């Protein structure tokens, strides 16, 4: 699936988008997998309260299923308007 | 009718305001809100707006549809820019048209409150003091509880 | 800064909206409200607006000054027409500019609520069904209690 | 002083403005004086709850003093906006 990063999450991880093959069942599982990879992921996902997630372009929670998802995006709280 | 526009280019606020709901003689009350890049402190500032192409349009359509479901609205317009904006430039506008001024006002406030915290935009400020992502505020999050 | 205009001639809503608070890079939030003559039922309608020259301007200035005292506003505009207006014509507009969207919204609603019931205008409708003075509503009077 | 009438008050009384010499102390006294004059005044001032008054272009109450006032205006509840 495609994993997207925006704003300072993108800056910390160092790229806007990557393709990840995963067996993770939920967003939380995917985060655990990413954090285990490298320090930059550990840093980006250190404080989940500062993060938001969208699965297939819908805002959702960290315990949401990602089974069959095409796209998971991580970003800080939004600041539109 | 809902119209949602997400674009990098400037838009003509006066022309959009004038054209909005034009000819709808069944709608007596029109509210617009527009947001402008402020000069932070005294140094000239530049605002960079990042967004999530695809999700942005969907999120704005959803927020506008929710407003239409809650209030009696004849027309709804949302325009939001992304990219690099200088102080004084228009970032975005919403417009609502209704038979009733209360509906037009409340719907416009609702659109703004949701757009602030639920549409995937992120602002980065470049000022003389430095560069940084704008933090979401508790005040903006709290504003959603009204609806 | 307060600007109050009472006139019989049409005004250009788009141009007024575009010019309002232009160049004020300290004000990030702009709200406008505009009122349009509605088509009552299906018959073409004409609205006649009588006012009290002298008092009207004073009353509008006072309402605008009260809004400035209550909210943090950089600019306030009130334009109200009188005389004979056809369906679809703009009757009036208010505009408010603030650093904060909540202030701009509340001040615009306040201006409208007071302008509806405390500025000396009286509307007479001419429709296919006949001619009559528009009654003040309890709803409009009740709206003042919010402030 | 000048007495002004607007909207249906003007229509009932049949003129927009007239000059009136009066010793009335308050708006209510002035109304009583006018009602005693002619049926059209009686008709216009029949229901005070449907009327509003301004003294020297300031909204006020029926018990307000009109001593020294230049202008008193009667009209129905306003319908601006």
Residues of A in contact with B141 (CB under 8 A): 77
**Which chains have 3+ CB pairs within 8 A of A?**
B
User: Is A11 domain-assigned?
Assistant: yes
Whether the CB of B142 is below 8 Å from some CB of chain A: the reply is: no
Q: Provide the number of structural domains found in chain A.
A: 1
Residues of A in contact with B78 (CB under 8 A): none
C108: β partners = none
- Separation in Å, CA of B48 to nearest CA in chain A: 10
Mean pLDDT, chain C, rounded, equals 95
Q: What is the mean pLDDT of residues B9-21?
A: 98
Residue B115 has pLDDT above 70, yes or no: yes
Return d(Cα B104, Cα C31) in angstroms, integer: 12
SS3 per residue for C49-89 = EEECCCHHHHHHHHHHHHHHHHCCCCEEEEEEECEEEECCC
Sheet holding D17-19, edge to edge: D17-19, D2-5, D71-75, D52-55, D58-60
Q: What is the mean pLDDT of residues C124-130?
A: 88
Return d(Cα B58, Cα A55) in angstroms, integer: 13
Query: Considering the entire predicted model, what is its pTM?
Result: 0.96
- In order, the DSSP letters of chain C are -EEEEEESS---HHHHHHHTTTT-TT--EEEEEEEE----SSS--EEEEEE-TTHHHHHHHHHHHHHHHHS--SEEEEEEE-EEEETT-EEEEEEEEESSHHHHHHHHHHHHHHHHHHS-EEEEEEETTEEEEPPP-HHHHHHGGG-
- Model pLDDT for residues C78-102, shown as the tens digit of each residue: 999 999 999 999 999 999 999 999 9
- Model pLDDT for residues A5-28, shown as the tens digit of each residue: 999 999 999 999 999 999 999 999
Q: Which of A58, A59, A53 is nearest to A27 (CA)?
A: A53
* 7-26 of B, contacting C, C-beta below 8 A: 12-15, 17-19, 21, 23, 25-26
Query: Which are the contacts of B65, defined by CB distance < 8 A and separation ≥ 6?
Result: B2
- Separation in Å, CA of B55 to nearest CA in chain C: 25
User: What pLDDT does residue D55 have?
Assistant: 98
User: What pLDDT does residue B42 have?
Assistant: 60
User: What pLDDT does residue C63 have?
Assistant: 98
Residue A65's CATH number:
3.10.20.30
User: What pLDDT does residue A34 have?
Assistant: 97
- Give A25's DSSP letter: -
Whole-number percent of chain B with pLDDT over 90: 89
Confidence band of B16 (pLDDT split at 50, 70, 90): very high
Whole-number percent of chain C with pLDDT over 70: 97
Q: Which domain holds residue D32?
A: 2-75
At A33, list the tokens: 């997998």
User: Is A81 domain-assigned?
Assistant: no
Q: What is the mean pLDDT of residues B67-95?
A: 97
User: What pLDDT does residue C44 have?
Assistant: 65
User: What pLDDT does residue C129 have?
Assistant: 82
User: What pLDDT does residue B43 have?
Assistant: 66
- Separation in Å, CA of B14 to nearest CA in chain A: 18
Residue with structure tokens 């599982």?
A29
User: What pLDDT does residue B61 have?
Assistant: 98
Query: Which are the contacts of C49, defined by CB distance < 8 A and separation ≥ 6?
Result: C81, C82, C83, C85, C91, C121, C122, C123, C124
D touches A (3+ CB pairs < 8 Å)?
no
- Separation in Å, CA of C53 to nearest CA in chain B: 25
User: What pLDDT does residue B130 have?
Assistant: 87
User: Is D62 domain-assigned?
Assistant: yes
- C-alpha distances (whole Å) from C88 to each of B29, B146, C37, C45, C50 are 11, 33, 5, 10, 18
Residues of B in contact with A77 (CB under 8 A): 117, 135-136, 141
User: Is A47 domain-assigned?
Assistant: yes
User: What pLDDT does residue D72 have?
Assistant: 98
Q: What is the mean pLDDT of residues B55-75?
A: 98
- Is the separation of the CB atoms in D72 and D4 below 8 Å? yes
Q: What is the mean pLDDT of residues B23-40?
A: 92
* 26-85 of C, contacting D, C-beta below 8 A: 35, 50, 52, 54-55, 58-59, 80
**First-to-last C-alpha distance (Å) of chain B:** 22
Return d(Cα C76, Cα C97) in angstroms, integer: 7
User: Is D81 domain-assigned?
Assistant: no
User: What pLDDT does residue C130 have?
Assistant: 87
Comparing CB atoms, the residue among A76, A80, A81 nearest residue B133 is: A76
Whether residue D80 and residue C119 make contact (CB cut-off 8 A), yes or no, is yes
Q: What is the mean pLDDT of residues D26-52?
A: 97
User: Is D54 domain-assigned?
Assistant: yes
The number of residues in chain B equals 147
- Is the separation of the CB atoms in A60 and A25 below 8 Å? no
- Separation in Å, CA of C28 to nearest CA in chain B: 5
Whether the CB of C46 is below 8 Å from some CB of chain B: the reply is: no
Comparing CB atoms, the residue among B58, B80, B124 nearest residue A80 is: B80
Whether the CB of A62 is below 8 Å from some CB of chain B: the reply is: no
Return d(Cα B86, Cα D46) in angstroms, integer: 63
Whether the CB of C122 is below 8 Å from some CB of chain D: the reply is: yes
Closest residue, chain C, to D11 (C-alpha)? C133
User: Is D60 domain-assigned?
Assistant: yes
Whether residue C23 and residue B88 make contact (CB cut-off 8 A), yes or no, is yes
Using DSSP, state whether A74 is helix, strand or coil: strand
Whether the CB of C75 is below 8 Å from some CB of chain B: the reply is: no
Return d(Cα C114, Cα C107) in angstroms, integer: 11
Return d(Cα B111, Cα B107) in angstroms, integer: 6
Q: What is the mean pLDDT of residues D36-63?
A: 97
User: What pLDDT does residue C127 have?
Assistant: 85
Residue with structure tokens 């006294």?
D29
The β-bridge relationship of strands A2-5 and A71-75 is: parallel
C12 alpha-carbon distance from chain centroid:
14
At D23, list the tokens: 């010793």
B36 alpha-carbon distance from chain centroid:
10
Q: What is the mean pLDDT of residues D29-58?
A: 97
Whether residue B133 and residue A7 make contact (CB cut-off 8 A), yes or no, is yes
- Separation in Å, CA of C35 to nearest CA in chain B: 5
Give the domains, in start order, of chain C with CATH numbers.
2-145 (3.90.1170.40)
Whether residue C116 and residue D81 make contact (CB cut-off 8 A), yes or no, is yes
Specify the higher pLDDT residue, B100 or B45.
B100
The β-bridge relationship of strands C29-36 and C90-98 is: antiparallel
- Separation in Å, CA of A22 to nearest CA in chain B: 23
Residue C144 has pLDDT above 90, yes or no: yes
**Burial state string for A7-24 with b = 16 or more CB within 10 A and e = fewer than 16:** bbbbeebeeeeeeeeeeb
User: What pLDDT does residue B143 have?
Assistant: 93
User: What pLDDT does residue C128 have?
Assistant: 83
- Model pLDDT for residues C27-52, shown as the tens digit of each residue: 999 999 999 998 876 666 899 999 99
Q: Which of D7, D8, D9, D3 is nearest to D29 (CA)?
A: D3
- Model pLDDT for residues A29-56, shown as the tens digit of each residue: 999 999 999 999 999 999 999 999 999 9
**Which chains have 3+ CB pairs within 8 A of B?**
A, C
- C-alpha distances (whole Å) from A52 to each of A45, C13, C20, D16 are 10, 40, 37, 66
């Amino acid at each position: 699936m495609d994993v997207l990063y925006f704003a300072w999450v993108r800056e910390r991880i160092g790229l806007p988008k990557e393709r990840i093959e995963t067996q993770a069942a939920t967003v939380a599982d995917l985060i655990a997998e990413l954090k285990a990879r490298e320090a930059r992921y550990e840093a980006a996902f250190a404080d989940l309260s500062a993060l938001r997630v969208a699965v297939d372009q819908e805002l959702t929670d960290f315990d949401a299923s990602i089974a069959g998802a095409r796209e998971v995006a991580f970003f800080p709280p939004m600041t539109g308007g | 009718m809902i119209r949602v526009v997400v674009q990098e280019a400037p838009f003509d606020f006066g022309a959009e305001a004038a054209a909005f709901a034009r000819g709808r003689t069944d709608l007596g009350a029109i509210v617009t809100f527009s947001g402008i890049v402020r000069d932070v402190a005294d140094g000239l500032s530049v605002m960079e707006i990042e967004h999530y192409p695809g999700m942005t349009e969907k999120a704005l359509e959803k927020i506008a549809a929710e407003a239409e479901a809650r209030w009696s609205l004849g027309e709804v317009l949302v325009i939001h820019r992304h990219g690099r904006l200088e102080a004084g430039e228009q970032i975005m506008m919403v417009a609502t048209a209704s038979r009733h001024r209360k509906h037009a006002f409340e719907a416009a406030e609702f659109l703004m409150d949701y757009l602030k915290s639920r549409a995937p935009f992120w602002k980065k400020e470049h000022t003389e003091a430095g560069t940084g992502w704008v933090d979401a505020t508790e005040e903006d999050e709290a504003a959603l509880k009204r609806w």
